Structures are given as C-alpha cells and as structure tokens.
C-alpha cells in the first residue's frame, strides 16, 4: 500500500513529484519575496511609532491595529479582489482595457501588510531596548541622523529583533498556503489538485505536511546560524 502510494510521487506523467516540487518553488519564492517587503514596511512603521510626531504615531498605531486584527485570509481577499476593482476603475478612466491582478503580487502584498504589522512591534521593542545615550553620543561625534541610524542603531536593532523576526518568518511560511485560494499554484494548491485526481487525501496531505516541516526545519537551522553569527561578539565577551 505504502509502496504503491510512493509511486504517486514519481516525476513525469505517471506521478505528482514534479507538480509538488513546482508548488514548493512558488511557496518559497512567495515567502522570500514577501519577507523584505514586509520587514522594510514594518521598520518604517516602527520608526513612525517611535517618532515624537503625534500624527505619525497615531497613524502607525491605526495601521497595526487594522492588519493585526484582520484575519490573514480576509486581508488576502481584500487586496486581491479590492485591488482588482480599484485598478480596473483607474484604468477605465483612460481606456476600456481589462486588467487582471497577478495572484503572486496580490499574495505578496497581502502577506507583506500582515508581516509588517507584526514585525513593527518587534522592531519597536528592539528600538526601545537600545540605550538612547548611544545615539546622543553618535550625534556628539558629528554623525548625522542617518549615520546614527545606520552605524549605531541598526546593527544593534538586528541583534535584538532577530529572535522575534525568526518566529515571524516561520509563520509567514505557513501563511503562504492561503494563496491557494486565489488560484496561485503553490504547494497546497498542487496538493489539492493531486488529491482530486488520485482520491488519496491522507497520503498527499501527509506529504505536504512533511514538506512544510522540512522547510521549517531548514529555516530554523539557518536562522540559528545567523543568530549565532550576529551575537558572536557578545559570546566572546
């Protein structure tokens, strides 16, 4: 029974191995594309929260409240379908051309918005953990605000925020499965297609679970190595 099911994972026309590999590729690419977008936006939101400008702080808090409170799936639908309607309305002002939103881009934006909301809290905690006296010392040495951010704040920020960001990366990997609902051929969608064609739900969903766990394990090992590298100076001290 097991050997017969393993034959379903063969490559080529007789198996689903190549389809699952293609789905895994889309899943990993989506997560890798979303990560820098979400972290960059989250860092800007954290700076706004840490700002002395009350309007910026209020806007940043409203932003994070919305995207931390909405379910990820609902955010995905709003971006995908709402973005489709908005872009089409803008295009209709100039031409009658039909525009279709790319599923990959919609998934990246939606997941990036959610990631930015959560990562902003991680960045904010790290920013507030850095002694303000270090920034003041940098200014006293003649460093500009940008140089203080790049040379004094940012290196320490990465070290302090890395554990929290590592958890968010693992959550992001799991959340990529939601894009199967907007017809993006990720790992879960390919798995669902295989289940429908073979009527072997337990086997293929178990395989998908193992693949997700394997990717998470590899990510955890890599993140542990990065964290050890970032903290190497403190370990020697």
Closest CA to 187 of 8, 64, 16: 16
221: pLDDT confidence band, cut at 50, 70 and 90? very high
Cα angle vertex 88, ends 87, 90, to 5°? Answer: 65
- Computed over every residue of the chain, the mean pLDDT equals 88
Read off the pLDDT of residues 120-176 as tens digits, 9 standing for 90 and up. 999 999 888 887 777 777 777 777 777 777 777 777 888 889 989 999 999 999 999
Reduce the DSSP state of residue 130 to 3 states and report it.
coil
What element of type H or E holds 180? none
Helical H segments across 16-131, by residue range: 17-49, 54-69, 72-77, 83-92, 103-129
Read off the pLDDT of residues 32-62 as tens digits, 9 standing for 90 and up. 999 999 999 999 999 999 888 899 999 999 9
Q: List the CATH number of the domain containing 120.
A: 1.10.3720.10
Q: Which of 24-28, 195-199, 210-214 has the lowest mean pLDDT?
A: 195-199
Cβ within 8 Å of residue 23, ≥6 positions away: 185, 186, 187, 188, 189, 190, 191
**216-221: average pLDDT:** 93
Q: Which of 4-18, 157-171, 194-208 has the lowest mean pLDDT?
A: 4-18
1: pLDDT confidence band, cut at 50, 70 and 90? very low
What is the domain range of residue 80? 2-236
String of DSSP letters for 140-167: HTT--HHHHIIIIIHHHHHHHHHHHHHH
Cα–Cα distance measured from residue 237 to residue 235, given in angstroms and rounded to the nearest whole number: 5
Say how many CA atoms lie within 13 Å of 127 toward its Cβ: 19
Residue-level pLDDT at 237 = 46
What element of type H or E holds 53? none
- The rounded percent of the chain whose pLDDT value lies above 90 is 54
pLDDT at 4 over 70: no
Q: Which of 6-10, 120-124, 161-165, 182-186 has the lowest mean pLDDT?
A: 6-10
Are 177 and 72 contacting, i.e. CB atoms less than 8 angstroms apart? Answer: no
Number of folded domains that form the chain: 1
- The rounded percent of the chain whose pLDDT value lies above 70 is 96
Higher pLDDT, 179 or 95: 179
**78-91: average pLDDT:** 90
Closest CA to 6 of 190, 209, 215, 200: 200
125-129, long-range: CB < 8 A, 24+ apart: 125/160, 125/161, 125/164, 126/156, 126/157, 126/160, 126/161, 126/164, 127/46, 127/47, 127/50, 127/153, 127/157, 128/50, 129/160
Residue-level pLDDT at 117 = 96
What does the block give as tokens for 90? Answer: 């803008």
pLDDT at 3 over 60: no
Overall size of the chain counted in residues:
237
Q: What is the pTM of this model?
A: 0.88
């Amino acid at each position: 029974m097991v050997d017969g099911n393993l034959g379903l994972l063969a490559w080529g026309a007789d198996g689903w191995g190549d389809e699952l590999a293609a789905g895994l590729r889309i899943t990993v690419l989506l997560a890798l594309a979303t990560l820098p977008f979400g972290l960059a936006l989250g860092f800007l939101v954290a700076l706004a929260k840490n700002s002395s400008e009350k309007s910026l702080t209020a806007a940043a808090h409203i932003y994070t409240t919305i995207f931390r409170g909405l379910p990820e799936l609902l955010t995905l639908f709003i971006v995908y379908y709402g973005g489709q309607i908005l872009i089409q309305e803008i295009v209709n002002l100039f031409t009658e051309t039909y525009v279709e939103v790319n599923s990959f881009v919609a998934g990246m934006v939606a997941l990036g918005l959610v990631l930015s909301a959560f990562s902003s809290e991680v960045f904010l905690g790290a920013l507030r953990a850095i002694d303000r006296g270090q920034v003041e010392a940098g200014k006293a040495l003649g460093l500009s605000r940008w140089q203080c951010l790049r040379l004094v704040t940012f290196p320490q920020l990465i070290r302090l925020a890395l554990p929290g960001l590592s958890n968010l990366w693992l959550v992001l990997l799991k959340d990529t499965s939601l894009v199967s609902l907007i017809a993006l051929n990720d790992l879960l969608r390919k798995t669902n297609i295989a289940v429908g064609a073979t009527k072997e739900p337990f086997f293929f969903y178990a395989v998908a679970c193992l693949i997700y766990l394997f990717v998470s394990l590899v990510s955890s090992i890599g993140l542990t190595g990065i964290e050890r590298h970032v903290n190497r100076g403190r370990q020697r001290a």
